[in-house]
Amino acid sequence: MEIPEAPVTVLIAGVLLIFTSIIVTFVVVLKPRNAIPLSRRRPDVPASTSRLTLLTETAVGAINKRMKGRNDFLVNRDKLERAGLKTQPADFLLMMGAGALAGSVFGSSSQSFCSQLFPPECSPLFRYSPQGARASSTSNCRTPCKC
């Protein structure tokens, strides 16, 4: 039994709807509700720190403890200043670690998403891989799939 293929316009419309829903979620639902800053609403109350601030300060403190006494531990202040960055080495390492983690999560999820949209058999480079060479040698057509 063969499954009928959906038109490309349905696929594009579905992807656009997903992106639209994400944008609407961030713009409408997660929009900050208070337009007046906290310092003007409560002038006598000191500003409290959030849990995220406490977490990052704890992480920076732990990195500083590990780096204490080591001048050449991955990065140092001189290298950062020569690069034009005016940040502490622990802050820099934390930002780079968070960016690497976010990039790996996004990359792995987008790779699995894209491999569903564009199977490797439909890639022009698939012919030159060992699997593609076997597939094209057993079939009569020039491409291993009917994409």
- Check if the beta carbon of residue 61 is closer than 8 Å to that of residue 88: no
Residue 84 lies in a domain: yes
140 belongs to a structural domain: no
Residue 103 lies in domain: 73-133
Total domain count for the chain?
A: 1
Higher pLDDT, 137 or 81: 81
pLDDT band at 118 (very low <50, low <70, confident <90, very high): low
Asked if residue 109 is part of any domain, the answer here is yes
Rounded to the nearest 10°, the torsion over CA 17, 20, 22, 25 is: -120
Q: Assess if residue 24 is contained within a domain.
A: no
Q: Rounded to an integer, what distance in angstroms lies between the CA atom of residue 59 and that of residue 56?
A: 5
In-domain check, residue 64: no
Is the residue at 125 inside a domain?
Answer: yes
Written as one string, the DSSP assignment of 98-123 is HHHHHHHHHHHHHHHHHHHHS-GGGS
Q: Which tens digit of pLDDT belongs to each residue from 28-73?
A: 777 766 677 766 777 776 667 788 889 989 998 988 888 777 766 6
In a domain, 122, yes or no: yes
108 occurs within a structural domain: yes
